[in-house]
Amino acid sequence: MTLAQHHHIDLTLINGYLEALDIVVIQQMLDLYIQQSELNLTAINRAVVETDQKAWQEQCHKMKGSAASAGLSQVHQKLILLEKSTEDSQTKTQHLKALSLLNQQGIAAFGQWIEEQ
């Protein structure tokens, strides 16, 4: 695993999961996170399209918790910043693209970690 991949995931957290859980369960956790994050990103996008600040904050908050639980530290950090953002829709659209990319990178790093176990 490269240093860049380490940057995306909370190794202390997921190594702790490995001490308590079977790798199959951890893979299921990641699969569940992937499904949930797709729903979250769709809901965040809807909030941008509808210019709904309350929904934006709620959906960012919800995804922030999921990302933290899954050990996706970069996604979590980005959502801490985005949750309170009151920028315009165009700017939020750019943030959402960056968030989506970070999410993909975090998922890939977690998947790589699982393969190495």
Structure tokens given for 100: 């989506």
pLDDT confidence of residue 87: 95
Domain boundary assignment for the chain: 3-115
Question: What is the distance between the alpha carbons of residues 76 and 63, in angstroms, rounded to a whole number?
Answer: 8
Residues 38-83 have pLDDT tens digits of 999 999 999 999 999 999 999 999 999 999 999 999 999 999 999 9
pLDDT confidence of residue 6: 73
H-run or E-run covering 116: none
Question: What is the distance between the alpha carbons of residues 82 and 45, in angstroms, rounded to a whole number?
Answer: 13
Type of residue at 117:
Q
Provide CATH code, domain 3-115.
Answer: 1.20.120.160
Q: Please, where are the H alpha helices in 1-117?
A: 3-8, 11-20, 23-49, 53-70, 73-83, 89-115
The angle subtended at Cα 39 by Cα 47 and Cα 90, nearest 5°, is 30
Residues 4-37 have pLDDT tens digits of 667 899 999 999 999 999 999 999 999 999 999 9
Instruction: Record the pTM.
Output: 0.94
